[in-house]
Structure 1
Amino acid sequence: MMKSFFSLHELLEVTQGRLINLSEKKRILLSPSQICTDTRKIKKGDLFLALKGERFDGEDFVDEAYRKGAIGAIVNNFCFSLPSDFFLIRVNDTLKALQSIAKFYRQKLSIPLIGVTGSNGKTTVKELIAHILSTCYQVGKSKGNFNNQIGLPLSILQFLPEYQIGVLELGMNQPGEIKILSKIAQPNVGVITNIHHSHIGMMGTIEKIARAKAEMIPFLNRNEDNYLVLNEDDPWTGFFRKMATCRIITFGINKKANFRAGNINDEGGRIRFNLLISEKEKIPFNFPSPGIFNVYNVLAAIAVCSIFKVPFSTMSKAVKGFSPPPLHYQIEKCGEYNIFNDSYNANPESMRSALSTLMRLNGGRKIAILGDMLELGEYSFSLHQDLGKFAASVGVNAIFAYGRFASAVASGAEKAGLKDSFCFESKEALFDRLLSYIKSGDWLLVKGSRKTKMEDLISMLKAFVG
């Protein structure tokens, strides 16, 4: 089995750090998971890595790390009165040190690693891939949406030596970020789910978003046996295909992709379809949540898992037993009301998908409770107004909009002929009006960008109904 410890010499070499208050001859071995950036989680024997952010400085917590049992810390500055049993590794940049350590460990792992990026569906596809592969392999994955320059390296450091495959989510909100993450992760299989408006306020154009996601491709091109998995129905797939010299696998619904779905049934709170292997061979799949977008999520996972020779029958069984990530398209009952909880995040395309799915749910009036879509920049007002128009066009019975751009959503809906369209600056005001409006059997879609925390309204309703 691979040696799963870092020596002090290796840490100094990888981080290009300077050792303080300890001899380099001292024999110290640390497991990757003992490198900790959060003093709330420090355990005896850990090494504290003091990150800096806009609102915090990890070096303010070095004393706390020592009191909780840390044996040392990786820091940028040296202005501490050190106990004799506590050492420092001083580096130029603690974030880069974390990333360098994670990259070093990833190279030690020597296992195939799958990187998932795209505008929508990243977390679900990552979770699906890990869930299916775990039927045949020992699999490591990033937790939740640990997909940025801190979360991804921390995820890698939690991988155990016995893992046979790793699955990571790669996120971004600026150019160059996917390149940094890919350099750390060195993926053997890359998935680009789709390209949409997410982060357009920071990126400026859809093309710039596509180019940012494409930063993973050169790392896949390093080996012609690596794979790039693409959505055949996405308009940017041709752009990505031209950049790739590695193997390409596609998935989709409307075109002749390598992995294609047919006979789609999106009723009863579940999505059912057939994987079309050939004209005669069809494999049934049954996903436990609604939405056509989930067909694409499952197809992406099928495409990846086929690379690792997982039988289709095994995939089908695993998909049926899959539990969606928290706050992702969850169907639940709340007293006499039906909740469609997709409150984890939102952008224009995912909002439209959720609204279309809402309208296919059986029974009751359809009420959309929508929070702001963030990071849309100069497009914010027009895209929120378009959202209101779209909601009205698909036939929702009412909109309850919350946030800075709630009035844009409401005005768009009103212009499209929806009478019951309300906007609110506070969740409390929205909730009070909602209680006087909803009836037994109604369906309530709850969705908004992460910072809006629209799930608070579900908690308020649950508390009210007891």
Structure 2
Amino acid sequence: MKSLSIQTQNKINLPLLLKHIIPVIQAQWLGESDEMAIDHISIDSRSLQNGISTLFFALAGPNNDAHDYIGELIDTGVVNFVVTRIPDEVRGQANFLVVDNTLTALQQFAAFYRNQFHFPIIGITGSNGKTIVKEWLNFLLGPDYNIIRSPKSYNSQVGVPLSVMSINQKHNLGIFEAGISTTGEMEKLERIIRPTIGLLTNIGSAHDEGFANIGEKIKQKLKLFAHAEVLICHKNKTIDAFLNPSVKTFTWSCKHDEADVLITKKLVVDKTQLKVRLGADEFEIKVPFQDDASVENAIQCMMVMLHFGYEPTVIENRMSLLFPVEMRLKVKNGINNSMIIDDSYSSDFQSLKIALDFLENQKHYKKKTLILSDIFQSGLSNDELYSQVSELVISNKINRMIVVGETISKFKNKFLNCTAFASTKDLMAAIDTLSFGNETILVKGARDFKFEEVVALLEEKTHETVLEINLNAISHNLNYYRSKLDAKTKLMVMVKAFGYGNGGFEIAKLLEHHKTDYLGVAFADEGIALKNAGITLPIMVLNPETTSFTAIIQHRLEPEIYSIKGLNAFLRVAEQKKLEGYPIHLKLDTGMHRLGFEEKQLEELIFILRAHPAVQVKSILSHMATSDDLNHRDFALSQIALFDRLSERLMTELKIKPIRHILNTSGIENFPQAQYDMVRLGIGLYGISNDADEQKFLENVGTLKSIISQLRTIPAGDSVGYGRRFMATAPTKVATVPIGYADGISRHWGNGNGHVVINGKKAPILGSVCMDMLMVDVSEIKCKEGDAVIIFGENPTVIQMAQKLETIPYEILTSISQRVKRVFYRE
């Protein structure tokens, strides 16, 4: 099963029976009754929303196969499946629709479903801006239409069909985005969306690797509009060269007079004034942005409104209210040991389902609270809508509801343990009486309700420097390395050192969601914290101290044993507790010479293990010293050969078949022949590789951000910071940033060696890095107090910093202080 990072289940509002679906997807029927009604489509075996009326499509990807989870789904009540094969253990236990390819079947069904509806559909594609334009169009057109749109950035080969299957009979306008990464994909999405109105946003460099050249990329993107009645786009000679002459266009430009709409831009204070000429008509509007990307996205939205015939005054009034789009579900630490999932900028039925699945996947505490505002544009009557919301809340086992809004408050009786408030102001006034603590809180509200103010009250107060962790990127990197493994190779992921500085529990929870086989920590307290937080995956402790053995056993952790002394100490504790077959992991020293049994100790090791049934050897492992440096390939191969020989001896003489593993992140790429039964993924999960070619395939996980606390301009001759290590030779604009060496920033990064990025431009660090602050030169940067400051992320990268500091990325990541707030988000 392709692992999706967001909700994967949709409501169908047509009375469909299995017998109606069978011919649509060209399925072979094997089951009890084809008269069963279907009102949900799902591809996520972990969703709590699966049930008896669900049709589950068992997708198979390079790293996971949903067919493996059919038995579990049957146990939860699912009885209808689209499969390519029926696993022997579930044959005869459910209804099966057998097809050649389940993804193709999902797309066929979505295309069939789309064709049941006849109203305008806007199809959006391009390299950048798709999701923002979609959300803005929803805002701008929402007062006049009942809109169905793609949730979040649901624009893939799987996301598009799931989005389209959210249409119901009350909708009268659709807005769907389509994203592709290579050739041959857009034709499939076109058949599903079948847009009547096309919108082509900016064509940039995103996903260039999937296309031979920019021309091929444009040609593929334009296939979305094969049957569109009109295509709205920027007038561009390159795009014109690939346009089908039969496609009607509605174009805009800032320089080509032949465009249908000619636009002149002018910066006015903090806005951009657009002078618009359409035929003989001229008018002006202002948009609340000045950056080129936002202005271009706003123009695309204006073009759609012009196509729909809106008056200029209406366009200006609505566009003046445009806002930055928050496309992330953020996980934050809350007050009183609570965890907050911040989704405070949208409230519609589909995105609620996505957020509830995210809540279940990321919950830190068993108690779950939902703060929910009125829901808009559902296409349903209020009674039907809130009945469905109630069903959703019950299926997701929400313990407490707090609803805000005059409409949803009228239906509070549909929710158990529900408190209602007419407005956000009323909720905030009563927040201290609601007793938040030791719970996971999903805050989900339409923008008009300003739930960001609620989040601010509930959020744990920390300073303004944050490390943002992209959970999508972690999932991507995990799947990248999984794609390198043989089908039967298990995967242990290292979450030691607080997840390499990125955060322990949240990443462990995600890994549990992705069904990794083992987690690895360095010390027992790290593993205990994860177990206490509810992690159920087996956890190996790689460097257990003898004083921690009792706690390890108490919390069902699994110790790595690397010495005779340590083995005897663990056996004493195990036998005192009268254990039998407790799992341990034997570490062999094959050349690292750090920890592990040497060959000369094997005879004694075997003798002890034969005499003590209190323990069971769960795995045998070793650690490679040079897996990342092919100049030492011969040494690495000698380690593998020695490991093979020593582990074989242990297996033969002890008559055991444990898991064997020696490869770390670099070893997965460089020595695939030594995968054995399991590999250990470490720094690669966090987007860092020692191989420049491999690095191109990984996504950045962590972005360390702060803000400008204060700006000042100093004259020539003045100095900055301790010791006057920077002396200004000309008037210099200085920005102070509240992050320093107590937060993990090396003092060697100061004095002009390093830089931060502000508004896309480099700002050199002036003078010494202080304990809690650093100062940067922003003389050439347009900025203001409160603007964001990037310390590392996409630019500069941790790898670039490490090279400049003559260290390794591990040290930089693990140095980030615990006082720096971690914010986890999913796009």
Question: Could you state the TM-score of these two structures normalised by the residue count of structure 2?
Answer: 0.40
Q: Cα gap change, 1:37/1:279 in structure 2, threshold over 3 Å: closer, same or farther?
A: same
Match of 2:241 among 239, 245, 250: 239
Kindly tell me the number of residue pairs found equivalent between the two proteins: 378
Does the residue aligned with 2:821 lie in a helix, a strand or coil? helix
Instruction: Give, in angstroms, the shift of residue 75 of structure 1.
Output: 0.9
Match of 1:437 among 756, 767, 774: 774
Check conservation: 2:465, 2:820, Cα contact below 8 A: no
Does the residue aligned with 2:144 lie in a helix, a strand or coil? coil
Q: Which residue of 1 aligns with 2:80?
A: 72
Q: Does 2:147 match 1:139? A: yes
Q: Does 2:65 match 1:57? A: yes
Q: Which residue of 2 aligns with 1:227?
A: 230
Q: Does 2:382 match 1:38? A: no
Instruction: Give, in angstroms, the shift of residue 258 of structure 1.
Output: 2.5
Deviations 1:386-409 (A, max 9, x none): xxxxxxxxx9999xxxxxxxxxxx
Does the residue aligned with 2:206 lie in a helix, a strand or coil? coil
Q: Which residue of 1 aligns with 2:5?
A: none
Check conservation: 2:111, 2:193, Cα contact below 8 A: yes
Q: Cα gap change, 1:464/1:227 in structure 2, threshold over 3 Å: closer, same or farther?
A: closer
C-alpha distance in 1 between matches for 2:150 and 2:297: 17
C-alpha distance in 1 between matches for 2:121 and 2:158: 18
Instruction: Give, in angstroms, the shift of residue 335 of structure 1.
Output: 8.7
Check conservation: 2:99, 2:105, Cα contact below 8 A: yes
Instruction: Give, in angstroms, the shift of residue 218 of structure 1.
Output: 2.6
Q: Which residue of 2 aligns with 1:191?
A: 199
For 1:302, the aligned partner's letter is: M
Q: Which residue of 1 aligns with 2:286?
A: 285
Does the residue aligned with 2:227 lie in a helix, a strand or coil? helix
Instruction: Give, in angstroms, the shift of residue 267 of structure 1.
Output: 4.8
Q: Which runs of 5+ in 1 are unaligned?
A: 221-225, 346-370, 381-394, 399-417, 424-429
For 2:165, the aligned partner's letter is: L
Does the residue aligned with 1:89 lie in a helix, a strand or coil? strand
Instruction: Give, in angstroms, the shift of residue 199 of structure 1.
Output: 1.7
C-alpha distance in 2 between matches for 1:308 and 1:156: 22
Instruction: Give, in angstroms, the shift of residue 58 of structure 1.
Output: 0.9
C-alpha distance in 2 between matches for 1:150 and 1:459: 39
Larger RCO of the pair (alpha carbons < 8 Å, separation 6+):
1
Check conservation: 1:117, 1:192, Cα contact below 8 A: yes
Q: Cα gap change, 1:11/1:196 in structure 2, threshold over 3 Å: closer, same or farther?
A: same
Q: Which residue of 2 aligns with 1:359?
A: none
Instruction: Give, in angstroms, the shift of residue 145 of structure 1.
Output: 1.2
Check conservation: 2:260, 2:279, Cα contact below 8 A: no
Q: Cα gap change, 1:435/1:274 in structure 2, threshold over 3 Å: closer, same or farther?
A: farther
Check conservation: 1:338, 1:441, Cα contact below 8 A: no
Question: Could you state the TM-score of these two structures normalised by the residue count of structure 1?
Answer: 0.69
Q: Does 2:91 match 1:88? A: no
Paired residues for 1:27-426 under 5 Å: 27-31=35-39, 34-41=40-47, 42-44=49-51, 45-82=53-90, 86-220=94-228, 226-232=229-235, 234-241=236-243, 243-256=244-257, 257-265=259-267, 267-268=269-270, 270-277=271-278, 281-287=282-288, 289-326=289-326, 420-421=754-755
Q: Does 2:19 match 1:13? A: no
The structure in which a higher percent of residues are helix is 1
C-alpha distance in 2 between matches for 1:396 and 1:148: 45
Q: Which residue of 2 aligns with 1:351?
A: none
For 1:306, the aligned partner's letter is: L
Instruction: Give, in angstroms, the shift of residue 204 of structure 1.
Output: 3.2
CA RMSD of aligned residues (A): 4.4
Instruction: Give, in angstroms, the shift of residue 444 of structure 1.
Output: 3.0
Instruction: Give, in angstroms, the shift of residue 464 of structure 1.
Output: 8.6
Deviations 1:255-309 (A, max 9, x none): 33323433432653x544344446774132323x441222211111222233333
C-alpha distance in 1 between matches for 2:753 and 2:276: 42
Deviations 1:179-208 (A, max 9, x none): 211122111111111322222223132122
Q: Which runs of 5+ in 2 are unaligned?
A: 1-11, 329-344, 346-455, 473-686, 697-731, 736-751, 758-764, 777-783, 799-812
Does the residue aligned with 1:196 lie in a helix, a strand or coil? coil
Q: Cα gap change, 1:459/1:116 in structure 2, threshold over 3 Å: closer, same or farther?
A: farther
Instruction: Give, in angstroms, the shift of residue 115 of structure 1.
Output: 0.9
C-alpha distance in 1 between matches for 2:772 and 2:237: 42
C-alpha distance in 1 between matches for 2:191 and 2:25: 16
C-alpha distance in 2 between matches for 1:130 and 1:23: 41
C-alpha distance in 1 between matches for 2:308 and 2:816: 40
Instruction: Give, in angstroms, the shift of residue 227 of structure 1.
Output: 0.4
Check conservation: 1:264, 1:272, Cα contact below 8 A: yes
Instruction: Give, in angstroms, the shift of residue 149 of structure 1.
Output: 0.5
Q: Cα gap change, 1:163/1:442 in structure 2, threshold over 3 Å: closer, same or farther?
A: closer
Q: Cα gap change, 1:377/1:278 in structure 2, threshold over 3 Å: closer, same or farther?
A: farther
Check conservation: 1:337, 1:444, Cα contact below 8 A: no
C-alpha distance in 2 between matches for 1:461 and 1:254: 51
Q: Cα gap change, 1:419/1:145 in structure 2, threshold over 3 Å: closer, same or farther?
A: same
Check conservation: 1:116, 1:126, Cα contact below 8 A: yes
Deviations 1:357-403 (A, max 9, x none): xxxxxxxxxxxxxx99xxx989x7xxxxxxxxxxxxxx9999xxxxx
Instruction: Give, in angstroms, the shift of residue 248 of structure 1.
Output: 0.6
Check conservation: 1:201, 1:377, Cα contact below 8 A: no
Does the residue aligned with 1:302 lie in a helix, a strand or coil? helix
C-alpha distance in 2 between matches for 1:338 and 1:281: 46
Q: Cα gap change, 1:307/1:396 in structure 2, threshold over 3 Å: closer, same or farther?
A: farther
C-alpha distance in 2 between matches for 1:275 and 1:11: 49
For 2:318, the aligned partner's letter is: A
Check conservation: 2:71, 2:90, Cα contact below 8 A: no
C-alpha distance in 2 between matches for 1:275 and 1:123: 24
For 1:262, the aligned partner's letter is: T
Instruction: Give, in angstroms, the shift of residue 458 of structure 1.
Output: 12
Q: Cα gap change, 1:85/1:56 in structure 2, threshold over 3 Å: closer, same or farther?
A: closer
C-alpha distance in 1 between matches for 2:733 and 2:206: 24
Instruction: Give, in angstroms, the shift of residue 156 of structure 1.
Output: 0.4
Does the residue aligned with 1:11 lie in a helix, a strand or coil? helix
C-alpha distance in 2 between matches for 1:145 and 1:396: 39
C-alpha distance in 2 between matches for 1:173 and 1:458: 35
Does the residue aligned with 1:48 lie in a helix, a strand or coil? strand
Check conservation: 2:734, 2:775, Cα contact below 8 A: no
Check conservation: 1:125, 1:297, Cα contact below 8 A: yes
Deviations 1:78-106 (A, max 9, x none): 12444877311111100001000000001
Q: Cα gap change, 1:449/1:92 in structure 2, threshold over 3 Å: closer, same or farther?
A: farther
C-alpha distance in 2 between matches for 1:448 and 1:260: 38
Does the residue aligned with 1:219 lie in a helix, a strand or coil? coil
Check conservation: 2:58, 2:81, Cα contact below 8 A: yes
Q: Does 2:32 match 1:22? A: yes
Q: Cα gap change, 1:80/1:175 in structure 2, threshold over 3 Å: closer, same or farther?
A: same
Check conservation: 1:338, 1:443, Cα contact below 8 A: no
Does the residue aligned with 1:236 lie in a helix, a strand or coil? helix
C-alpha distance in 2 between matches for 1:281 and 1:458: 54
